[in-house]
C-alpha cells in the first residue's frame, strides 16, 4: 500500500496523458491506413471499370470491319460513309484517356450513319449476315453501356472520396486526381432512338 502512495499525483496525470496520446496516435494511424486502403480499392475498381469498357470496345472494333465489308457489296456508292466509319474506328482504337471517350462517341455517331444505309438499300435489310452483325453490335453496345454505368458509378464514388475532408488529405498525399466520367458528348447521342417498322 505504501508503494502506491509513493506515486505522486503529477506522475499519475503524466501517465494518463501519455496513454491518451498513444491511443490518439494509434487512432490517427488506423484512420490513415483505412482511408488509404479505401482509396486504393476505389482506384482499382475504376481501373477495372475502364478495362471492362476497353474489352467491349475491342469487340466493337473487331466487328466494324465485317459490317463495313458487308455493306460495301450493297452500297457501292456510299464509300464516303464507309471511310468515315473506318477512320472513326481507327481513331478510337489509338486514342487514350479523355480523347478516347470523344473518339468513341464519334465512332458511335458514324455507326448510326452506317445503319441508316439500310433504309436506302432494302436488299441490305434482307441480308442475314448484315442482320446478324447488326444484332452482335447491338449486344456489344448494351455491354458497353453497362460497363460505362459501372465505371461512372465507381468514378463518382472515387471522386467524392478524393474531395471529402478529411480523406482529401490522404488523397492529396497519394497524388490522386479526379477522373473523368465516360459521357455522351453530342446532343444527337442523347436523343431517343426512333424505331420504324
Q: Express each pLDDT in 132-151 by its tens digit.
A: 888 888 888 889 889 999 99
Return d(Cα 40, Cα 27) in angstroms, integer: 20
Alpha helices in 75-127 (DSSP H): 79-94, 97-120, 122-126
pLDDT of residue 174: 92
pLDDT of residue 184: 64
* pLDDT tens-digit map of 74-127: 666 677 778 888 888 888 888 887 788 888 888 888 888 877 777 777 777 677
Q: Where does residue 60 fall: left (phi above 0), alpha (psi -120 to 50 degrees), or beta otherwise?
A: alpha
User: Angle 9-74/128-163 helices, nearest 10 degrees?
Assistant: 160
Return d(Cα 9, Cα 150) in angstroms, integer: 60
Q: What are phi and psi of 165, to 5 degrees?
A: -80, 140
pLDDT of residue 193: 40
* pLDDT tens-digit map of 3-48: 555 567 777 888 899 999 999 999 999 999 999 999 999 999 999 9
Helix (H, G, I), strand (E, B) or coil at 8: coil
Quick check: 25 and 120 in contact, CB under 8 A?
no
Amino acid at each position: 500500500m505504501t508503494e502506491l502512495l509513493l506515486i505522486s499525483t503529477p506522475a499519475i496525470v503524466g501517465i494518463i496523458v501519455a496513454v491518451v496520446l498513444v491511443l490518439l496516435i494509434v487512432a490517427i494511424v488506423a484512420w490513415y491506413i483505412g482511408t488509404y486502403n479505401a482509396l486504393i480499392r476505389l482506384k482499382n475498381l475504376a481501373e477495372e471499370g475502364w478495362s471492362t469498357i476497353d474489352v467491349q470496345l475491342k469487340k466493337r472494333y473487331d466487328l466494324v470491319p465485317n459490317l463495313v465489308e458487308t455493306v460495301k457489296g450493297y452500297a457501292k456508292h456510299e464509300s464516303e460513309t464507309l471511310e468515315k466509319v473506318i477512320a472513326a474506328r481507327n481513331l478510337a482504337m489509338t486514342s487514350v484517356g479523355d480523347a478516347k471517350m470523344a473518339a468513341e462517341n464519334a465512332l458511335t455517331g458514324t455507326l448510326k450513319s452506317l445503319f441508316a444505309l439500310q433504309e436506302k438499300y432494302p436488299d441490305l435489310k434482307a441480308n442475314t449476315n448484315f442482320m446478324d452483325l447488326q444484332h452482335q453490335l447491338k449486344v456489344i453496345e448494351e455491354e458497353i453501356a453497362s460497363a460505362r454505368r459501372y465505371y461512372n458509378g465507381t468514378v463518382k464514388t472515387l471522386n467524392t472520396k478524393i474531395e471529402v475532408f478529411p480523406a482529401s488529405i490522404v488523397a492529396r498525399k497519394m497524388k490522386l486526381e479526379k477522373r473523368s466520367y465516360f459521357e455522351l458528348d453530342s446532343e444527337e447521342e442523347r436523343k431517343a432512338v426512333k424505331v420504324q417498322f
